[in-house]
Structures are given as structure tokens and as C-alpha cells.
Structure 1
Amino acid sequence: MLIVDDSAVTRCVIARIVDAIPQYEVIAAVGSIAQAEAALGKGAADLILLDINLPGRDGLSGLPALFAVAPDARVIVLSGSCAAGSPTALHALSLGAAATLAKPESSPLAGGFAARLTALVGEVMAASPHSIAATMAAAGGSPFDVIAIGASTGGIHAIAPLLRALPDDLDVPILITQHLPASFTDYFAQQLAALARRPVDVAADSLRIQRGRMILAPGDAHIRVVPTIEGAATRLDRTPAVSGCMPSVDPMFESVAEVFGARALAVVLSGMGRDGCRGAERIRATGGVVAVQDQGSSVVWGMPGAIAVSGLASTIGTPEELGAFIARRKRSA
């Protein structure tokens, strides 16, 4: 087992807890991702206990690097910000962590932490790789047939790196509602076509939703998705939305949930207010996946933050990380 924590005291305490667990031993206890990579290069570890607040690269940013060195290792993320259901915990699980556990703030041994860690280690190591994969799938790894993206202030800058992170062979249709004046719609559609490397249509009544294409909401109407004999199409709706936005993300998400159900992925990027939160609730209620931009990379964390705080987010990350998340969960050819 490998322990990665920036506190020497915490490393010592956790090592003692691990030493008391039958059949487990600590191969190394280090204070950074770079030191962890070096330790894994010298010897295999079947379990990594990983802190988040580390010097240099933080634990979540360094997690993919650890998996690259030790692809079969299981990771438990330990952090005071990893309360069950918290945005940080969800982010860690979306990156491949097997489990998370909140560390007590006062002392490494407070609140029965040793007993909880011991029990969690047993659960994680007893689970088969198939069980862990199934758990991740239940959290949002099933294939999807549509991607619906909502954004407002700061969203234009966030959409670009997300789209660049998508592979060219990802042909899932993409719907976008970005809060913009109607006069900018055509220009923005041209920008999206270049970024996404695929055709972009401005939504219209009875416009068929097709694989390999993107549809942008016009500045003066909401996108609603309706079922058709051949699949699905868009319908324009100019009814005032609860959020007061035109176009609004909520009607798009709500109708996507009705038509695509569990095979829908909703993404919420930087934006002011709460537009998209009601729709995200419908997406989750029908079994779909909701991914939101993290606070650090958002110009305004209003829209994605409202969803994260409500516990509706399946995963949280930077635009680049969300793009990678989408790519990992794409339908196989």
C-alpha cells in the first residue's frame, strides 16, 4: 500500500492504521505526486491512499498520472473536503477513485477515523474489478445518445477547450444553449463548427437531430426536443422560462430527459444564475448523467455551482477534463 499525504504526522498515523490491518503493509509513505510516481516505479502497490492538498500537483490532478504508472491499483482519496456526495468526492470518483473518505479536521484519529478507514480498505479490496467498474457505470458510465450543453457568462471560453478534447470519431449529436443575443447566433455557429470539427445547425422547428452534427439554440428561442418516427427533432419555444433567460437551458434539458432518458448527458459550463438546475434535476431523475464545470476554471460558478451544491452533478471538472470524461464514455463503434 502507498500513502500520499503532505503531512508527515498524518502519514505516520495512517501508516500505523494500515500496519494494524492483517495482510497489509505500507511500501512507501510520500508527500507529493512526483514522489508517489517514483515509489510506484520501484514497486507495485495494490492500493493508494491519496490526499488532495499536495505541493505541486494536487491529488486529483495527479490521479491520472498515478493510474498511468499503476493501472491496476485501487485508490481511496482521503480529504477533509471529501464528505459523501460532495463535489470533490464526485470529482474523485469520476476520475477513477474506488472510494473517498473525509479526514477529520481536528486530529487524524478523531471521530473513529481509524475504524472507518480500516472498514473501507476491506470493502475496496474485497470488491472485484468488475464490481468497481459497475459502480462507476452506475455513477454515469453508461453510453449516451445525445450531449446537451448549457452555458452563459464565461461559457464561450469554456466550450472551446471542451470541444477540442473530443475525439474526431465521437459522432454523438450535440445540442448547445449559450446565453447570447440573437444577432450573434450565426457568427457563434461558425466558430463552433471550426472548434468541433463538425457541421453546426441553428435550431429550427422540425430540425432532425443527427449523429455527427451539432445544433445551437437561436438567441430568441429555447430548444425543445420532440420524438419523431426517425428519432428526434428540435422545436422552438418562446414561452418565458422560469429562469428569465432567452434562450434557457432548462427547457432543453427537460425535453432531452423526456426523449432520451438514461441515454442523455447534460453539461453545464460557466454562467450566472441557476438556469439549467431544474433541467438537470429531470436529467438525473430519468437516469441521465450531469457533468458541470468546476469553480476554479469558471468565470462565474453560478449555473454549475447551483447544480453541484444540489448534489445533481455526476462529475465536476475543468472543460478539458469534461471533454475527456465525455470521450471515455462514448458509445463503442
Structure 2
Amino acid sequence: MVVDDSAIVRGLIIQMLEKSPDIVIAARAANGEAALAELGRVEVDVIVLDLEMPVMDGMTALPLLRAKQPGVKVVVASTLSQRNARISLEALQQGAADYVPKPETGTLVRAEAFERELVSKVLALGRRVPAPAIPAAEPRPRSTVRPGAIAIGGSTGAPPVLLELMAGLKGVTQPILITQHMPATFTALLAEQIERAGGRPCSEAKDGEPILPGRAYVAPGGWHMTVGRSGATPVIRLNQEPPEHFCRPAVDPMLRSAVEVYGNRLLAVILTGMGHDGAEGCELTAKAGGRFVVQDEASSAVWGMPGAAAKTGLAEAVLSATSIAPWIMEVCK
């Protein structure tokens, strides 16, 4: 179902989605109240939801839609402003599965990147396919040293999981590197939320700054965050090399570089997200003697990224969202 107060935008979004033979438009609505009425007559897998609408806006409608049809996945589509970024992050906290920044109406017709992102997210969230079998973990020596750094990657559905995880890691002194697939306007706001939830200093990473114990660093939108050295001190390195897995920031560049610096003292965590970003980096982490864990399918909005990492057969554990923090706390003692 597509919910947007602009008939033009609603029509363009529907045209984009209908190009995929695997997507069927079950309903359309001009505001949250009309969307609730539509849910009373049809069942849908995914709702593409605008935020700013008359009668009933998207934030008001979101919990009502999820209550009326439990299990429905909501993708927020809203223009990328500072205000909308804050509201959209709140929507993710309230249960929206993902966000797609919507171009201005005049450029929507030519917005190929928006179309690709929207279609791929709707397909990932709406697809009902059995999960592939996970190979048994390969027996290999595990690092017995305390981790020197924790690197976390996530995408679709990860922000609320990430905040819960950070709240559970308040006693951990290791620096924490975070790459979340998000636009630039969002990542600074996400860092603010992480600082509040985790009770530790957190900010968008800056090129050249030292990686210090007790701090958290968020990859800024539009930049890959990697790890380098300045003398003996690990430091943040930012670059705008080509996107990987259609993403910048991406998780794999962070993990590849962190392995070079921390070796068997790196602990990686892959949270819910579509695609397979992070799997290569996790494999390198394990083969260097480090450790990685992934979020399980049952607690993931999309078991793409964690599933791909798990399929390497090298994951030390596949854990529910609520079990990851206790596991890390034990490892970091």
C-alpha cells in the first residue's frame, strides 16, 4: 500500500513499484486515516508511508497501522530535511522497518537511485522465502585476548536494535565503531541518540581523530569510515571511494581496515539489514583470529546481512537482538 497526500507522488511511486513483476499494489491512500480504512478491507505486506499529510499524518498513523495488521512492514518515504530526519528516526524507533529519502516532486520522475532503493527495500521486506541453511561453523582457534575494538554494522531495521544494544554495553570500555546505512542528515542525529542510550560519548567520525577507549564513532552518511594508524595510535580515516553494495558508508570497508589494525583483537557484530554488506569483512575478521556474531533471523527485520555473514560458517554465534549485549559483555570482561 502506498500512502501519500500528493496524487502525483503517489502515482509516480506506484509506477516505480509496478515495474517489478514481484510487487502488486494492493491499496493506495491519501492520508493515515484513509490508510487505516484500506487495511480494514485488504491485507498488505509492506506500506510505503509519507510523514507529512493532512487529516492524519504518518507518525500518528504508524502505530495504528501496525496494531491493525501486526506483521506489516512500514517503509517511511519522506523528503530529506533536518526536521523530517528527526521524525523519521523517531518512526524507526516506533517500529518502521526502514526509510527512503524522497526527492522533491519535480525531480521524482528522474530519481533512479530512489526508485532502485525503494523497490529493493519493498522486495526485501515483503518477500516470504525460507531462510537458507547455515553451514556448521568451521572449527578454528578463537581469540582469547580481550577485544581491542568492537565494530557494528547494520541496515534495515537496525537503528532500534542498535540503541538497545548500546544501552546494554554501558560497562564496556572498548571503542565502538558503527556503520549504519543512512543518509548524511541522519547519521549525526543517530550519534546523538546513541550517546543518550549508551551513556558514552558518541559522534559522527572525523577524519584523523584518534580512536579512544569508551567512545563510539558513527560513520557519517556519504563517507566510508575506515581505521588507520597515526604512529601507534588507531585513527579514523574517511573516504569517498565508490559505494560498496550500493552503500556509502558500507560495513565491509570498515571491517577490512579494522582487521589490519586490530587483528585478532577485533570483535564484529552484524545486525539486521538487506543485502550482504559485512559478510566479506566478517570472514576476514575470523580468519585473522578475531570474532564475529550476527543477529538471528527471528529478531531481524530482514535477514540479509546477518544471514550472509552467518553463511560463511565462521560466525561464533547467531543471537537474538536482546542476547547480543550480554554476550559482548562476557567476551569483553
On whether the aligned pair clears a TM of 0.5, the verdict is: yes
Aligned to 2:282: 280
Q: Of the candidates 232, 235, 260, which is equivalent to residue 262 of structure 2?
A: 260
Q: Of the candidates 293, 296, 306, which is equivalent to residue 294 of structure 1?
A: 296
User: How many residues are matched?
Assistant: 201
Residue pairs, 1:1-333, within 5 angstroms: 86=136, 138-139=141-142, 141-166=144-169, 168-331=170-333
- Matched AA of 1:172: Q
Change (3 A) 1:276 1:330: same
- Give yes or no for contact 1:293–1:319 (8 Å, CA) kept in 2: yes
- Matched AA of 1:205: D
* Cα separation, 2, equivalents of 1:216 and 1:207: 12
- Give yes or no for contact 1:165–1:324 (8 Å, CA) kept in 2: yes
* Cα separation, 2, equivalents of 1:282 and 1:294: 21
How far apart are residue 223 of structure 1 and its match? Answer: 0.6
How far apart are residue 242 of structure 1 and its match? Answer: 3.5
* Cα separation, 2, equivalents of 1:173 and 1:192: 13
- Give yes or no for contact 1:193–1:199 (8 Å, CA) kept in 2: yes
**TM-score normalised per structure 1:** 0.57
Report the 3-state secondary structure (helix = DSSP H, G, I; strand = E; otherwise coil) of the residue aligned with 1:207. Answer: coil
Report the 3-state secondary structure (helix = DSSP H, G, I; strand = E; otherwise coil) of the residue aligned with 2:286. Answer: helix
Larger radius of gyration: 1
CA deviations 1:207-243 (Å, max 9, x no partner) are: 1100000000000101110022242001101111432
CA deviations 1:6-44 (Å, max 9, x no partner) are: xxxxxxxxxxxxxxxxxxxxxxxxxxxxxxxxxxxxxxx
* Cα separation, 1, equivalents of 2:317 and 2:165: 14
How far apart are residue 140 of structure 1 and its match? Answer: 5.2
How far apart are residue 142 of structure 1 and its match? Answer: 3.4
Change (3 A) 1:172 1:273: same
* Cα separation, 2, equivalents of 1:175 and 1:268: 12
- Give yes or no for contact 1:154–1:298 (8 Å, CA) kept in 2: yes
What runs of 5+ residues in structure 2 fail to find an aligned partner? 1-132
CA deviations 1:288-333 (Å, max 9, x no partner) are: 10110000000000000001112121111012211111100114xx
What runs of 5+ residues in structure 1 fail to find an aligned partner? 1-82, 91-134
* Cα separation, 2, equivalents of 1:306 and 1:169: 30
- Matched AA of 1:266: A
- Matched AA of 1:273: G
Report the 3-state secondary structure (helix = DSSP H, G, I; strand = E; otherwise coil) of the residue aligned with 1:148. Answer: strand
Report the 3-state secondary structure (helix = DSSP H, G, I; strand = E; otherwise coil) of the residue aligned with 2:323. Answer: helix
- Matched AA of 2:136: S
- Matched AA of 1:153: T
Runs (4+) of structure 1 moved beyond 4 Å?
none
Which deviates further from its counterpart, 234-243 or 261-270? 234-243
* Cα separation, 2, equivalents of 1:84 and 1:266: 18
CA deviations 1:167-203 (Å, max 9, x no partner) are: x331100000001111112111110001111000211
* Cα separation, 2, equivalents of 1:201 and 1:186: 7
* Cα separation, 2, equivalents of 1:289 and 1:303: 16
- Give yes or no for contact 2:171–2:329 (8 Å, CA) kept in 1: no
Report the 3-state secondary structure (helix = DSSP H, G, I; strand = E; otherwise coil) of the residue aligned with 1:187. Answer: helix
- Give yes or no for contact 1:142–1:329 (8 Å, CA) kept in 2: no
**What RMSD in Å do the two structures reach over aligned CA positions?**
2.0
Which deviates further from its counterpart, 155-164 or 219-228? 155-164
Aligned to 1:55: none
* Cα separation, 2, equivalents of 1:84 and 1:308: 6
- Give yes or no for contact 2:143–2:265 (8 Å, CA) kept in 1: no
CA deviations 1:19-76 (Å, max 9, x no partner) are: xxxxxxxxxxxxxxxxxxxxxxxxxxxxxxxxxxxxxxxxxxxxxxxxxxxxxxxxxx
- Matched AA of 1:259: V
How far apart are residue 206 of structure 1 and its match? Answer: 0.3
* Cα separation, 2, equivalents of 1:201 and 1:256: 19
- Give yes or no for contact 1:199–1:213 (8 Å, CA) kept in 2: yes
- Matched AA of 1:210: L
* Cα separation, 2, equivalents of 1:169 and 1:271: 27
CA deviations 1:96-122 (Å, max 9, x no partner) are: xxxxxxxxxxxxxxxxxxxxxxxxxxx
Identity, % of aligned pairs? Answer: 39
Report the 3-state secondary structure (helix = DSSP H, G, I; strand = E; otherwise coil) of the residue aligned with 1:193. Answer: helix
